[in-house]
Structures are given as C-alpha cells and as structure tokens.
C-alpha cells in the first residue's frame, strides 16, 4: 500500500523529490511488465480454450460416468460405460475401421507429399508459385462437395471408377458394399484433400535447410538422391514429426467423408463396414438420445487413442531418424 503511494507519478510542476523514486518505480514497473505481461498476452487464448475446450472435455468426462438421457433422467454409474465399451463389438469394429482407413490414407499421402515437396523444392523447376498454389487447391474445396463428387465417382453402375476399371476387365465393384473397397474409396477422398496441404508444410521445412549444405554436397559429388537421403530427410525430421502427428489426429477423427459416403447414415454401410470411431461416438452420443453417457465414454476413448497414437508416432519417427 505504502509502495503505491510513493509510486504515484510526480506532477510536472512539483520539484523532483529527493532520491531516485521515479526511476525505481519505473524499474519495478518494467520488471513487472517483463515478468507478467506475456501471461496477459496469452491469457485470451487460455480463456477461450478454457471455455470451449477444457470445460466441454471435463463435462464429457462427467457425462461418461452416467447413464445419461439427453432429454430425460441421468444416474451415476461409475465406470460402467467404460467396461461396457471393452466388450462392445461395434466399438472395436469402429476402431479397426478408423485404423484401416487411417493407414490407407496417411501412409501413401505422406510418401506422396514428401515426393512432391522434393520436386517443388528443386531450383530448376519453372512456374514454382503456380505449382505450389495448385497443389493446395483441393484443401480449399468444401469437404461436403468432395464427398458428393467422390460418391458419384464410386457409384456401382454409372460411376467413373467402375467404368474405367471395366476397360481393364475388372467387374463392377460395389464400393460401399465391402470393407476393403469402402476403405479405399474413403481414403482416396482424404488423400486428395490433404496431400497438397502436407506437401506445403514439408516444402516449408525443406526450404529452411541451408542451401550451402547442398552446394557442399554437390562439390563432394553427391547426386540428387543421395542429397535427399543424407541432407533433406534428416534435417526435415521435426517438420515430419509435426506432419505425422497432425495427420494422425485428423485420421483418428475422420467423420464427414465416411458419413457422406454412407449417404448420411451414421451406421456407415449395411454392416458397419466403414463406421469410424467419430461416427460411433455421434451415433451413441447424439443420434441415440438415451445413450449420451456412453457416447461420452466413446469420446474419451477416442481422445486416449489419439493421445497414444501421437506418442507412438513421436517415438517411432524419432527413433527411425536416428
């Protein structure tokens, strides 16, 4: 209290008080500023995160411990929802589907993105900006439009894909009627949409690699391929980890593409061939009004799966790079 009274700014007419009080005051203010204002600057984010991120998460956790009817009663049942989850055939089915589609989309996608980024990084390439922009365009297209167009391409009787396959003698494929074919079709939508995005991030990572390393390698007689393996890949590691984790999170949460591929049916195929975890969560938590608590448990299971996968990715990519 006494500090604040002494710290009051002196009026300009008053003679400077003895000693160096204003200087000290300014110094302590600067120190305060240095120490606390960064927290103030990032506070809005945490505030928003707290309201729209943390609170719903905790609320979902709370819901998952209940037998919760969205428009009716709720009773506390402890961990029963989670034990039920472990023996729920459809939960495991959704988990397998999610991983299957994830594998079919992420692996080829990242390999292709790496290849394209390396091409775009070449100094000799003409019209670079054009190619870099063009490759990003699929990502800007609305996901619903993508799903509808791909749904038409993969039609059984009049679809373009089956028509083309007909030329090489392959019979009509019922794309949404089998597990492997539906996974492939959905993965192709994801790949089309996200390859360009990942390419750009990888490209940015590549451009951060100092040019002189390549020049030195060239003088030493290393070819393009060798430069890629020995310089680009190792130095790209942090970017690559980032891209892999992003794709993992996206892949685990896959929802709109399979939902629209099923013409809006949340079950995902006549026998749940391509119902993802996010779809199962929605089915239990929102479509079925009276199993909202169970849906919340599925949501938390999904959260844990994503956490585990990200960790695993991180460890694997790091070790592989060593």
From residue 70 to residue 99, the character string flagging contacts with other proteins as x (rule: CB under 8 A) and all else as - is xxx-----------------x---------
Under a CB-based contact definition with an 8 Å cutoff, are residues 81 and 296 in contact?
Answer: yes
Q: What is the dihedral of CA 48, 54, 57, 62, to 10 degrees?
A: -120
CB of 280 to other proteins, least distance (A): 12
235 makes contact with other proteins (CB under 8 A): no
Site string for other proteins, 149-188 (x = CB under 8 A): --xx--xxxxx--------------x-xxx----------
Based on the shown chain and the rule CB under 8 A, indicate whether residue 112 belongs to the binding site for other proteins: no
Q: Which stretch binds other proteins (CB under 8 A): 2-10, 187-195, 216-224, 258-266?
A: 258-266
Tell me the closest approach of the beta carbon of residue 185 to other proteins, in angstroms: 12
Q: Is 139 or 155 the residue whose CB approaches other proteins more closely? A: 155
Binder among 288, 303, 310, 321 for other proteins (CB under 8 A)? 288
Minimum distance of other proteins from residue 290's CB (angstroms) = 5
Contact segment (CB under 8 A) with other proteins among 24-32, 65-73, 127-135, 305-313 equals 65-73
Binding interface with other proteins (CB under 8 A): 69-72, 90, 151-152, 155-159, 174, 176-178, 263-267, 270-271, 286-291
């Amino acid at each position: 209290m006494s500090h604040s009274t002494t710290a009051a700014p002196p009026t300009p007419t008053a003679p400077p008080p003895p000693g160096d009080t204003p200087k000290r005051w300014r110094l302590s203010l600067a120190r305060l500023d240095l120490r606390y204002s960064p927290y103030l600057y990032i506070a809005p984010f945490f505030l928003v995160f707290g309201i729209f991120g943390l609170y719903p998460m905790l609320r979902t956790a709370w819901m998952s411990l209940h037998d919760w009817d969205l428009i009716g009663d709720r009773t506390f049942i402890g961990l029963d929802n989670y034990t039920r989850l472990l023996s729920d055939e459809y939960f495991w089915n959704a988990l397998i589907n999610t991983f299957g589609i994830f594998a079919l989309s992420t692996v080829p996608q990242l390999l292709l993105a790496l290849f394209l980024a390396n091409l775009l990084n070449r100094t000799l390439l003409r019209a670079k900006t054009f190619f870099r922009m063009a490759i990003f365009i699929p990502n800007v297209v609305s996901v619903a439009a993508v799903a509808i167009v791909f749904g038409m391409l993969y039609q059984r009787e009049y679809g373009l894909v089956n028509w083309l396959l007909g030329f090489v003698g392959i019979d009509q494929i019922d794309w949404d009627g089998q597990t492997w074919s539906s996974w492939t079709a959905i993965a192709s939508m994801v790949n089309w949409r996200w390859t360009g995005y990942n390419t750009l991030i990888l490209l940015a990572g590549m451009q951060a690699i100092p040019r002189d390393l390549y020049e030195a390698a060239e003088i030493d007689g290393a070819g393009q391929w060798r430069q890629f393996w020995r310089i680009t890949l190792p130095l790209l590691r942090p970017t690559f980890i980032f891209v892999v984790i992003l794709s993992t999170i996206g892949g685990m949460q896959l929802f709109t593409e399979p939902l629209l591929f099923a013409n809006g049916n949340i079950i995902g195929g006549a026998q749940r061939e391509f119902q993802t975890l996010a779809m199962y969560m929605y089915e239990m938590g929102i479509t079925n009004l009276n199993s909202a608590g169970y849906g919340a448990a599925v949501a938390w299971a999904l959260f844990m799966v994503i956490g585990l996968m990200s960790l695993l990715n991180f460890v694997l990519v790091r070790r592989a790079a060593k």
